[in-house]
Structure 1
Amino acid sequence: MFRTEYEFTLPMGYIDAEGNLHREGVMRLATGTDEIQPLKDPRVQANPAYLIVILLSRVVTRLGSLEAINPKIIESLFAADLAYLQELYNRMNSNGTRSIEVLCPHCQQAFAVELDQPGEF
């Protein structure tokens, strides 16, 4: 069966206004709209680095017991958690060609090495 959602555990966790820690969550695969719509957002146009905040707020569907995920929550994550979610997003939404060309140091023969595929978390 084709998976469209993946559970995750943040390394640090989001701390809400009441001091509750939220670490367990779910991220879904991105759609074309998820990648295109944020480009129209004035915050992204003013600062392209903000794109990942908008993207993650669209595809993270659950984080602990929070009722909704929005850009303010993603902005408030610790840097380690933001980096973790960005890497997860990239792995989940890759096109399946996660290989790199390497060169054997002994015979100088080139060959491809497969990297981890989405779903192998």
Structure 2
Amino acid sequence: MRTEFEFELPRGYVDESGTVHRHGAMRLATARDELLPLADLRVKENPAYLSVVLLGLVITRIGTVTDVHGGVVEKFFASDLAFLQDFYRRINAEGHTRAAVTCPECDSSFEVDLAGGRLGES
């Protein structure tokens, strides 16, 4: 059974030295992962912080950064945070990272893998 999924951020995490990290990995969440943030004071004060804490628990690496936690996730660009929230939902609720899309020009339907890859690949 596959428990870790690779992804590529749309923009990338910029660390303290200015290095941009785009490739990473997220593991499947456990029941404990979903319960722990509920006891976090930051989440109690601001429920919107729940996804930041949760993603900090399940992201195993982003580029060369392996100590991923809420403080790192806070520094993600909003577009990357939205991507990761959707990615989390897909791998934990649906069990895969594929999404059905339709070409706006030719109206063809096909699947893409949200885990990343090179442009034009699916």
* TM-score bracket relative to the smaller structure: 0.7 to 0.9
Q: Which residue of 2 aligns with 1:71?
A: 70
Match of 2:55 in 1: 56
Q: 2:90, 2:96 within 8 Å by CA — same for their partners in 1?
A: yes
Aligned counterparts of 2:97 and 2:12: Cα–Cα separation in 1: 22
Q: State the aligned residue count.
A: 99
Please, what TM-score do these two structures have when normalized by structure 1?
A: 0.79
- Post-superposition shift, 1:67? 3.3
Q: Distance in 1 between matches of 2:96 and 2:18?
A: 33
2-side partners of 1:119 and 1:81: how far apart? 16
Who is 1:101 aligned against?
none
Q: Which runs of 5+ in 2 are unaligned?
A: 99-112, 114-122
Normalised to the residue count of structure 2, the TM-score between the two structures is 0.78
Once the 2 structures are TM-superposed, how far is the Cα of residue 72 of structure 1 from its aligned partner?
A: 1.1
Q: What's the C-alpha RMSD, in Å, of the aligned pairs?
A: 1.1
Matches of 1:65 and 1:30, distance apart in 2: 22
In 2, the alpha carbon distance for the partners of 1:67 and 1:78 equals: 18
Partner of 1:67: helix, strand, or coil?
Answer: coil
What CA distance in whole angstroms lies between the structure 2 residues aligned with 1:48 and 1:67?
Answer: 26
Aligned partner of residue 10 in structure 2, secondary structure: strand
The answer to whether structure 1 residue 39 and structure 2 residue 17 are counterparts is no
Extract unaligned runs of 5+ from structure 1: 97-116
